[in-house]
């Protein structure tokens, strides 16, 4: 990928207490896609994550830091990152976790799936998928795999979307599709945010492709997943699914 010209790409990495991981993820991303820029959106991490990124940004003009006042949530962090990227003219906007679970070496394949797609296909979103053919997870307990597979199957049926990993958070969007969304209306969090964004791309008429990845759990730090996030995703997915069946809506801007 380093030898290819790619569209202006911004990798958005939300952080909260990721001091043990953030330097590594920056190295990995810029190692495989050195032409990209990385924006870390830090929610006032008390462990000094923001200060580490600020120090790195002072020495590397591909790294940027957006500090926020406190723990405001994953969805709002990405929306803030989208706005930042749109204001600066990036053509591709990437979602990526800081904890190392998303394999940076699959970034070139995800970028290519959008940037090099046939214009007639109108690909607006590429998802790094655990559950499509060729995807996998590493060292997950069986109950967690069943929860993820079951939740994705439920969302796929309820929303009538041909996407196997609708809750996945490793993604590349065309910036022009993000620019057409009413970002002020997005208030979803966690898994629900990913479902919401997938629906919005679909409702704008964009094609969605899945690129297989090998997902592994974080090595350092504590997962931000909670029962409340899972419940929110199930409730909102059910709500959206029923709305789409019984109260057809105009496509969302």
Residues 195 and 229: their CA atoms lie apart, in Å, by 12
For the segment 112-125, the average pLDDT, to the nearest whole number, is 95
Instruction: Decide if pLDDT at 213 tops 90.
Output: yes
What dihedral angle (degrees, nearest 10) is formed by the CA atoms of 33, 18, 177, 234?
130
Residues 103 and 216: their CA atoms lie apart, in Å, by 8
**Residue 163 domain-assigned?**
yes
**Residue 76 domain-assigned?**
yes
Residues 27 and 140: their CA atoms lie apart, in Å, by 25
Instruction: Decide if pLDDT at 230 tops 90.
Output: no
* Pairing state between β 9-15 and 37-42: parallel
**Residue 225 domain-assigned?**
yes
Contact predicate 68/41, CB 8 Å: yes
Per-residue confidence band for 47, with pLDDT thresholds at 50, 70 and 90: very high
Residues 49 and 71: their CA atoms lie apart, in Å, by 13
* Counted domains in the chain: 1
**Residue 188 domain-assigned?**
yes
Both structure tokens of 248: 């057809």
Instruction: Decide if pLDDT at 56 tops 50.
Output: yes
Of 116-130, 191-205, 239-253, give the lowest mean pLDDT range: 239-253
Q: Could you read off the pLDDT of 68-107 as tens digits, one per residue?
A: 998 888 999 999 999 999 999 999 999 999 999 999 999 9
Instruction: Decide if pLDDT at 1 tops 80.
Output: no
**Residue 4 domain-assigned?**
no
Cross-strand pairs, 174: 92
What percent of the chain has pLDDT above 70? 90
Task: Output the domain CATH number for residue 160.
Answer: 3.90.550.10
Per-residue confidence band for 253, with pLDDT thresholds at 50, 70 and 90: very low
**Residue 143 domain-assigned?**
yes
**Residue 170 domain-assigned?**
yes
* Model pLDDT, residue 2: 45
Question: What is the residue range of 34's domain?
Answer: 9-246
Of residues 40 and 221, the one with the higher pLDDT is: 40
Of residues 229 and 49, the one with the higher pLDDT is: 49
**Residue 213 domain-assigned?**
yes
Of 35-44, 105-114, 147-156, 200-209, give the lowest mean pLDDT range: 147-156
């Amino acid at each position: 990928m380093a030898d290819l010209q790619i569209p202006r790409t911004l990798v958005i990495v939300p952080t909260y207490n990721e001091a043990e991981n953030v330097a590594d993820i920056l190295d990995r991303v810029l190692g495989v896609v050195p032409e990209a820029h990385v924006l870390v959106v830090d929610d006032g991490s008390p462990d000094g994550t923001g200060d580490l990124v600020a120090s790195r940004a002072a020495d590397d003009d591909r790294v940027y830091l957006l500090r926020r006042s406190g723990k405001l949530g994953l969805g709002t962090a990405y929306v803030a990152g989208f706005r930042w990227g749109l204001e600066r003219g990036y053509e591709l906007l990437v979602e990526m976790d800081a904890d190392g679970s998303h394999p940076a070496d699959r970034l070139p394949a995800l970028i290519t799936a959008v940037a090099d797609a046939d214009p007639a296909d109108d690909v607006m979103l590429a998802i790094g998928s655990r559950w499509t053919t060729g995807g996998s997870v590493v060292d997950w307990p069986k109950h967690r795999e069943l929860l993820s597979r079951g939740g994705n199957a439920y969302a796929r049926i309820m929303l009538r979307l041909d996407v196997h990993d609708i809750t996945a958070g490793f993604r590349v969007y065309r910036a022009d599709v993000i620019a057409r969304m009413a970002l002020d209306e997005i208030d979803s969090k966690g898994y629900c945010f990913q479902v919401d964004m997938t629906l919005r791309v679909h409702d704008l008429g964009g094609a969605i492709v899945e690129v297989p990845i090998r997902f592994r759990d974080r090595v350092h730090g504590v997962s931000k997943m909670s029962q409340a996030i899972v419940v929110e995703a199930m409730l909102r997915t059910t709500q959206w699914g029923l709305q789409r069946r019984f109260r057809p809506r105009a496509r969302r801007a």
